[in-house]
Amino acid sequence: MNEKQKLLDELKKEIETNIALPLSKSANLVFGEGNPDADVCFIGEAPGFHEDKQQRPFVGLAGRLLDKLLTELNWPRESVYITNIVKRRPPENRDPLPEEIEAYAPYLARQIEILQPKIIATLGRFSMNYYLPDTKISRDRGRLFHKNNLFIYPLYHPAAALRSTNVLEELRKDFLRLPQAVERAKNGGVIKEPPPSEQKPEEGGEKQASLF
Ligand code: URA
C-alpha cells in the first residue's frame, strides 16, 4: 500500500478513537478521501447530512457541483483529495464553532503534512480564514497565497454558488484557473505581479500578499 495511504489510515483511526473530540457523540467521522499523491487538496468546512450518512466528503448537492466543476477540468474526482476542517457534522448543519475548528486543527495539519499537496483549494470562508485569517472571500477568491510553506487558493463554497448565479459564475471562473495556479505553485509561486487592481488591499483588510 502507498505509504501516504498507510499514514492517513493510521491518522483516521486516531481521530476515531479520540472520543473527547467535539461532535464525536452525535456524528460520524468524515475523514476525507481521494488520491494521496494529488496536487490539489480541497478543504471544505464540515460535513452535512449526506456526508455524515455516507462518511464521505462533498457527496450532497454541493458535492455534485464540485464534481461537475472537476469534470469541466477533466480532473476525475479520484485524482484530487477532498476533506474538511471539521471532520464531523455539526447539528442541523450549523456553522462550525471556533472550539470545534481548534479541536480538529491538529489532525488537519497532520493530514496535510502527509499529503503534501501542491495547492490547498479552500472552499468557503471557514477554511479560507483558517489558513488566511485576514482575507475576505469576495475580494480574495481566485488569488494564490503562499503562507507557512503552503500555497492556498481560496474558492467560494459550492453551496453558496447554488444560491447565487453570480457566485456560481465567479466560482466557475476561479475553478477553471486551478491548473494555472497549480503550475505557479510548482514553480515556487511568483511569476507575474498581480494586476494593479489587486495590489491594494481594502482598508483594514488583508495584509498577506497574494501571488496572483
Ligand atoms: N459542505 C462542506 O463544507 N463539506 C462537505 O463535506 C459537504 C458540504
Encode 35-55: b = buried (16+ Cβ within 10 Å), e = exposed. bbebbbbbbbbbbbebbbeee
- Span 45-99, pLDDT tens digits: 999 999 999 999 999 999 999 999 999 999 999 999 999 999 999 999 999 999 9
- State the average pLDDT for the chain: 92
CA distance linking residue 21 with residue 18, whole number of Å: 6
Question: What's the CA-to-centroid distance between 194 and ligand 1, angstroms?
Answer: 31
CA–CA separation, 168 vs 53, rounded Å? 26
Which is the closest atom of ligand 1 to the Cα of 30? 6
Q: Which of 41, 80, 84, 94 to mutate to test the pocket of ligand 1 (most atoms within 8 A of CB)?
A: 84
Of 77, 123, 171, best ligand 1 pocket probe by most atoms within 8 Å of the beta carbon: 123
Per-residue pLDDT tens for 18-51?
999 999 999 999 999 999 999 999 999 999 999 9
The label of the residue with cell 447565487 reads 164
**Closest C-alpha to ligand 1, atom 7:** 58
Q: pTM for the full model?
A: 0.91
Atom of ligand 1 nearest to the CA of 126: 3
Q: Which residues line ligand 1 (CB under 6 A)?
A: 44-48, 51, 57-58, 60, 62, 84, 159
189: pLDDT confidence band, cut at 50, 70 and 90? confident
* Amino acid (1-letter code) at residue 152: I
Residue ranges of alpha helices (H) inside the chain are 3-17, 49-54, 61-72, 98-115, 125-131, 137-140, 158-163, 165-176, 178-186, 196-199
Contacts of 70 (CB under 8 A, 6+ apart): 76, 77, 80
121-176 pLDDT per residue, tens: 999 999 999 999 999 999 999 999 999 999 999 999 999 999 999 999 999 999 99
